[in-house]
Amino acid sequence: MPRPSSDLKPKRQGRPPTIENARDRILDDAARLFARDGYDGTSLSELATSVGVTKAAIYHYFPNKQEIYEAIIVRTLEGLRRHVSQATAGASGPEEALARFMTAHADFFEDHYDGFLTMLVGYGGMENVVMIAEAQKLRDEHEQSLRQIIADGITRGAFRPIDVDVTSRAVLSMLNWMVRWFKPGKGRRAATFAQDYCDLMLGGLRG
């Protein structure tokens, strides 16, 4: 029996077949290709071949390569923000909240490595003002949640009266720089390095 919608909707000529989770699949493969061959080194034809669809099908979802690149960045930041805020929500105190923030950030980075590489190594190439604003909003929220953990720690006496700006920048620098030396699946999880950084930061160097 034909599905009712087949008769009700007019058929567009050349319309690509519906692809399951098409947007996400396109972004996944694009991130993988950008991470491997760079933005300039990746063509939409290669991307279409990788996803297993026609180039027209790609254009059905994204007007051009630049928009795919920007969608990868925003999707990566959305996922990071969601994952880290869920992880920190149930923390019992500032030290645990900081550890959870850092390990959750590192876990998400490792599990979405291609997206991070595209975002952090593809340097400053966003153009769409709406996407730039969205990415900035997500980055600000992520950083703000870290600053809140540090500020809470100071207020509750768990942390010294350290500078919140310096501390949050130091933490994010250690986490973000992982993109330049950490390779997923080659030994320890990124989160174990993040936990080491957290312990070092908490205890300090002085004997």
Nearer to a second copy, 30 or 167 (CB): 167
Out of 9, 160, 186, 188, point to the residue binding a second copy (CB under 8 A).
Answer: 160
The yes or no reply on residue 166 touching a second copy (CB under 8 A) is: yes
Are 145 and 88 within 8 A, CB to CB?
Answer: yes
The kind and range of the H/E element at 45 are helix 44-51
Size of residue set near a second copy by CB under 8 A: 40
Long-range contacts of 179-187 (CB under 8 A, 24+ apart): 179/109, 179/116, 179/117, 179/120, 179/121, 182/109, 182/110, 184/110, 184/111, 184/113
The yes or no reply on residue 187 touching a second copy (CB under 8 A) is: no
Nearer to a second copy, 57 or 118 (CB): 118
Footprint on residues 103-122 left by a second copy (CB under 8 A): 120-121
Out of 173, 187, 189, 190, point to the residue binding a second copy (CB under 8 A).
Answer: 173
Nearer to a second copy, 15 or 156 (CB): 156
Nearer to a second copy, 26 or 106 (CB): 106
Integer CA distances (angstroms), 58 to 23, 39, 50, 196, in order: 9, 16, 11, 42
Are 106 and 168 within 8 A, CB to CB?
Answer: no
Give me the residues that bind a second copy (CB under 8 A), please. Answer: 38, 40, 95, 98, 120-121, 123, 150, 153-154, 157-163, 166-167, 169-170, 172-174, 176-178, 180-181, 193, 196-197, 200-207
